[in-house]
A and B are shown apart, each in its own frame.
Chain A
Amino acid sequence: MTLVTGGELIARSLSAHGVSHLFGLSGGHIDPTWSAAPRHGIRVVDVRHEAAAAYAAEGWALATGEPGVCIVTAGPGLTNAVTGLATARESGTPVVCVAGAATARGRDAGEVESLDQLALATSVTKWARVVPHADQLPDYVAAAFRQAATGRPGPAYLEVPIDVVHSWVDDADLEVRAPQGRAQRRVAAPAELIEDAARTLERAERPAVLAGSGVFWSDAAGHLETFVTETGIPVVTRQQGRGTIPDDHPHCFGRDWQNVLAQADVVLVVGTQLNYFSGYGHFGHLDRLIQVDIDPTQLGRADLGIVGDAGAVLAQLTEAVPRLATDGWVSRLRRQADQIAIRKAVMAQSDAMPIHPLRLCAEISERLERDATVITDGSNNLMWTNVGFQALEPGRLPGMSQLGTIGHGVGYALAAACARPGTQVLWVVGDGSFGFHATELDTAARHGLPIVTVIMNNGGWSASWVPLGLRHYERMAGAFDGHGELVEKPEQIGPALSSAFERARGSGEPSILNVIVDPAPEYFAGRYLGPSHGDLGS
């Protein structure tokens, strides 16, 4: 008879599901899993606050397309992680969270770190369970991965009480099942709906595609590019859809969804919610809205709703839709995009001080390799980073989630640096958001994760102007054995970035560049460059 602990079974099950990194913060309620993980080839990345563990798990999923895993201890360990789990739920990111917990017997007796965790987790996750017995752990871990990754992805929560994780069971008859891959989850659409969508697109004068996170989670970047290239339909991208078709593809208009969709007469929405971040689907001049989603509950606002996997349906549509006469429509959009680009370029070359945010983005972009990961974090600064950076590959430009969380970016950056060693990883963050989890740069230093942090420091919370003052955040780098620089002049940006990237490649040390930017810069006016309003038929 071979006896193993519940923690050993969790680690073994995680390893069977391909988990190579576990993000967490230690605690007595999770010790057996924590200590067992390295024996199963799992690298434990210990962070300084559980929120960062949850963000890093989400970041791992965004970097790899597969569920990220975090482990947190009981009570405050979970409550600290709640924002990260809620963020993953609202953005539909596959995460598995393993949490310690007090014993069932001790809950009402005043046991330490006792809390109704399940009720809390249920409200912020897709699926939440308490594991009753250790011998059920392999099945529960497998169920958590299925729940996280199938249908609309999301966080799955697995609560393992301290008496369960520490208990001993005979593992002779315990089977750890291998997971299904993404290719096995593809659900195609009925032929008659594909036919309806194809004929609608064929009749359209100004068709457009809005591609979102579903394309990323379906690993369908190739399907999207083939569909767009072969049909000639222009495409814009949102959320994790950014980069599933490169911004420099001739039919891709990047994140300029507002301008494109405002003029389109038929929009094919693939794998994204029609929510605040996509104008609730009120695109203005539509004859018909077609929506493809793996989750049927998302289809209420579409004229034609198609339930199916983004990749599978795009492959079906590629077969069904002929090459369309879109050259004039695409040329018109390109002319508009070019005019906007000219206006942006003026600001990107600004020598003003404080530095214009678009000048900073331009200087960064010049020094990025194509496989770099740029994590944009903040609220107001996103209006610059969203237009200042190009998304050239899937999962390389993660930004704000549907929940509107800020300060999460360092967790994403830790995970990206783990998942993509040897590549550039930048955390571009506002000074307000930097304050949430700046201590995680200690995690980066301890684990040799060479993150380059660029603070767009405008000295305050700018969405509702509340000053913070211009702090010397670059000095924090010294505490973490990293490199810090204050950048006040535009001509200092380039050398500071080059130095930071060289250090990242060489000694692997993280850097903090504290860049003082204009708190009230001019935006580029480009919203009425299109056809006159009357041309759109209103």
Chain B
Amino acid sequence: MDRLRNVRDSLPPRLNAGILMGDGGFCILGWMLTVAGYHPITVYNSTLFVNDPDPRRGGLVVEVVARTYGLHPEQVVELARTNDESPSNERVSAVRHALDVLVTPGAT
């Protein structure tokens, strides 16, 4: 829960849609992985995979984020949907609100 609060409280000024990291910056999943200590190359220019040679750290991004933050994969999918489907100028606040819900006791 502390890690999720960390993510919520450290959101960058801009989040990109649909890609973990690119010239538009991170999407929420890329940002969550970065906060958790993943280096940028593992999440670079990818939409579905965390490219880490260690199978315990790499794999489908939804599963890696779920594992890392103790979330259910469907919660990660919802978080990503909120990110991807929000207009760019409202994305950060929409994601912050979604994180607020997740850090509410009893949500996870």
Contact = CB atoms under 8 A, between A and B. Distances in A.
Contact of A528 (B49, B51, B55, B80): B80
B55 A282 contact: yes
Given A276-B51, A522-B17, A523-B22, A528 B77 contact: yes
Contacts of B80: 527-528
Contacts of B44: 463
Given A523-B16, A523-B18, A282 B74 contact: no
Q: Is the interface of A mostly helix, strand, loop or mixed?
A: loop
Contacts of A538: 63, 73
A262 B48 CA distance: 8
B58 A279 contact: yes
Interface of B: 14, 16-19, 22-25, 41, 44-49, 51-53, 55, 58-60, 62-63, 73-74, 77, 80-81, 83-85, 88
A380 B73 contact: no
Contact of B17 (A276, A380, A462, A523): A523
27 contacts: A276-B41, A276-B51, A276-B53, A279-B58, A279-B59, A280-B51, A280-B55, A284-B63, A380-B23, A382-B45, A462-B22, A462-B23, A465-B23, A520-B23, A522-B16, A522-B24, A523-B17, A523-B47, A525-B83, A527-B18, A527-B47, A527-B48, A527-B84, A528-B77, A533-B62, A534-B74, A538-B63
Interface in A474-530: 519-528
B59 A521 contact: no
Given A534-B74, A538-B73, A522 B49 contact: no
B58 A280 contact: yes
A392 B46 CA distance: 23
B3 to A, nearest CB: 21
A83 to B, nearest CB: 19
Nearest to B74: A533
B45 A262 contact: no
A463 B60 CA distance: 22
Contacts of B85: 525
A410 B44 CA distance: 25
A532 interface: yes
Contacts of A465: 23
A522 to B, nearest CB: 5
B58 A282 contact: yes
Contacts of B73: 533-534, 538
Given A259-B48, A532-B77, A525 B53 contact: no
Nearest to A465: B23
A519 B51 CA distance: 25
Contacts of B22: 380, 383, 462, 523
Nearest to B81: A528
Given A463-B23, A523-B16, 14 more contacts: A258-B48, A258-B49, A262-B60, A276-B53, A279-B58, A280-B51, A282-B55, A282-B60, A380-B23, A522-B17, A524-B18, A525-B83, A528-B80, A532-B74
B43 to A, nearest CB: 12
Nearest to A521: B24
Interface residues of A, number: 29
A327 B84 CA distance: 30
Nearest to B75: A533
A379 to B, nearest CB: 8
A538 to B, nearest CB: 6
Which A-B residue pairs are the 3 nearest by beta carbons? A525-B84, A525-B18, A462-B23
A383 B48 contact: no
Contact of A284 (B45, B47, B60): B60
A525 B62 contact: no
A282 B77 contact: no
A514 B96 CA distance: 39
A458 interface: yes
B95 to A, nearest CB: 13
A204 B44 CA distance: 31
Nearest to B19: A523
A533 B59 CA distance: 14
Contacts of B25: 520
Contacts of A521: 23-24
Nearest to A519: B23
B53 A280 contact: yes
Contacts of A458: 23
A465 B22 CA distance: 10
B88 A522 contact: yes
Contact of A520 (B18, B24, B45, B59): B24
Contacts of B63: 284, 538
Contacts of A262: 48-49, 60
A535 to B, nearest CB: 11
Contacts of B49: 258, 262, 279, 282
A458 B22 CA distance: 13
Nearest to B73: A533
A463 B43 CA distance: 12
A463 B21 CA distance: 9
Contact of B45 (A383, A524, A525, A532): A383
